[in-house]
Amino acid sequence: MRQRVQDAGFTPGEHYDYEPGQRFYFDDHDSIEYEVVQYDS
């Protein structure tokens, strides 16, 4: 998912691994922060 965010022209920021998955943040061009969460199965 981080690569898809980069391919869309955004810079992924802080990244955390936790149970049960991963999360990272990025800001859009209007400085709105998004959180992307991925749960491992």
Q: What is the pLDDT of residues 11-32, one digit of tens each?
A: 999 989 988 899 999 999 999 9
* Three-class DSSP category at 25: strand
pLDDT recorded at residue 18: 86
* 1, amino acid identity: M
Which of 13, 11, 20 is CA-nearest to residue 38?
20
Task: Quote the pTM value.
Answer: 0.77
List the domain boundaries for the chain. Answer: 2-39
Note whether 26 and 7 are within 8 A (CB): no
pLDDT recorded at residue 41: 74
Q: Is the pLDDT of residue 40 over 90?
A: no
pLDDT recorded at residue 34: 96
Which of 41, 2, 7, 3 is CA-nearest to residue 23?
2
Measured distance CA(20)–CA(3) in Å, rounded: 21
